[in-house]
Amino acid sequence: MKFPKNFVWGSATSSYQVEGAWNTDGRGPSIWDAFCQIPGKVHNNETGNIACDHYHKIKEDVALMKDMGLKAYRFSISWSRIMPQGRGEVNEKGIQFYSDLIDELLANDIQPWVTLYHWDLPLALQLEMDGWLNKNISDVFTDYAELCFERFGDRVKNWITFNEAWVVAILGYGQGVFAPGRISNSEPYLAGHHILISHAKSVKLYREKYQSIQNGKIGITNNCDWREPLTHKPEDKEAAKRALEFFVSWFADPIYFGHYPKSMVDRLGDRLPKFTEEEKQMLIGSTDFFGLNHYTTMIAANADEVVQGSVYGNGGLSEDQDVNLSMDPSWELTEMKWAVVPWGCRKLLEWISERYDYPDIVITENGCAYDDKLVNGEVNDQKRVEFFEGYLNACSEAIENGVNLTGYFIWSFMDNFEWASGYDKRFGIHYVDFETLERTPKASAKYLGKLIKSLS
């Protein structure tokens, strides 16, 4: 494997999935606190109330990161922990928690990468403003972002405004399987539109007021899985391209080109909101890097009649794309039933590079879930080791082919609350016993630690 000299090696988590302390020290409720209280919405009716108790274990967790040789830790800020109502009053105890975490990371030579929004909207904003359906939320988000820039920007040099806006829009406002649990064929596009405007406003603020002083970078992270055409027929190739556009280009095209993909404009009509000229200008160039979360690959075919359920969790609203998705039966599947296809990662990196004129790309999440067991104090997760070997080799090949890949973050640092899957899906490279909350490095953590140290 060959990686650039200053390549960033990191791991990632998100606030609601690991912190716990859901009502501690003045934290306000989020939409996930409410969603988890609805019976049947989460596996085994589990919640993130305690999760991994990262809130009380930051020194222990950072020590594990240092032992691995990680150079960066990507975490998200719980908006309602520092602003319990989403706006107005600031909770200083919440500010102190993140300040202490940042200081602990820096003391151990680990750079903090901070995500401002990883799906946990303050519940008050959902109740009072209809969350991301209200255009005015862009100003509320920008005020929240500025608070973070003010309090943490002297030490944080890498910011991500939103994690996976596609998930917020489609799973939260389209299919209703994630908080806030709404079902609609139009609300996802409105929510996504307002997220993009919120991103643009906060980046504009950061660049005009803070970037020259704090010398940081700011961007956004989008998720996308590769779409391989079923055949060489033009209609299947076009279907695969269309599926990618409805996935990642939905949020990337406005930032690089100032408008939505033509395939979306043509197919959605009035359901797709329009940007004002001012918004277009704010959006164009509003990222210093291309953040990418990537997990799997599926086969795409043109469809005159879409097979219902064929795109659940991996592509969008089926009736808008006319694409059927499938998998090669020979592909190995993870516990999430996601296929392990390393070459799909390389192809996606190359597709993004060509479409967006070779930007700096950071893989901000890549990983897999397996049914890990602790046996005699060890977790021998060889399938995960093989997963990382395959995907890192694909990344190295992409770099050799001209992709400007500058960083790679493992999802996730430790087993955690995996949203609607609860604690059933283990993505972590550190095993967590959710009764004792003890952490145990898995074989994958040891493998990655040796690899990172050798490549650094």
Flag whether 159 is marked binding.
no
Flag whether 6 is marked binding.
no
Q: In sequence order, what are the beta bridge partners of 301?
A: 324
Active-site choice (46, 164, 228, 397): 164
Flag whether 295 is marked binding.
yes
SS (H, E, C) the chain: CCCCCCCEEEEECCHHHHCCCCCCCCCCCEHHHHHCCCCCCCHHHCCCCCCCCHHHCHHHHHHHHHHHCCCEEEEECCHHHHCCCCCCCCCHHHHHHHHHHHHHHHHCCCEEEEEEECCCCEHHHHHHHCHHHCCCHHHHHHHHHHHHHHHHCCCCCEEEEEECHHHHHHHHHCECCCCCCCECCCHHHHHHHHHHHHHHHHHHHHHHHCHHHHCCEEEEEEECCEEEECCCCHHHHHHHHHHHHHHHHHHHHHHHHCCCCHHHHHHHHHHCCCCCHHHHHHHCCCCCCEEEECCCEEEEEECCCCCCCCCCCCCCCHHHHCEEEECCCCCCECCCCCECCHHHHHHHHHHHHHHCCCCCEEEEEECCCCCCCCECCECCCHHHHHHHHHHHHHHHHHHHCCCCEEEEEEECCCCCCCHHHCCCCCCCCEEECCCCCCEEECHHHHHHHHHHHHHC
| Annotation marks residue 238 as catalytic | no
* Alpha carbon distances (Å) from 126 to 35, 80, 141, 165: 12, 12, 13, 16
Q: In sequence order, what are the beta bridge partners of 366?
A: 410
Active-site choice (46, 228, 245, 365): 365
Flag whether 17 is marked binding.
yes
Flag whether 419 is marked binding.
yes
| Annotation marks residue 365 as catalytic | yes
Euclidean distance between the first and the last CA atom of the chain, given in angstroms as a whole number:
12
* Positions at the binding site: 17, 118, 163, 295, 411, 418-419
* Positions at the binding site for substrate: 17, 118, 163, 295, 411, 418-419
The residues carrying an active-site annotation are 164, 365
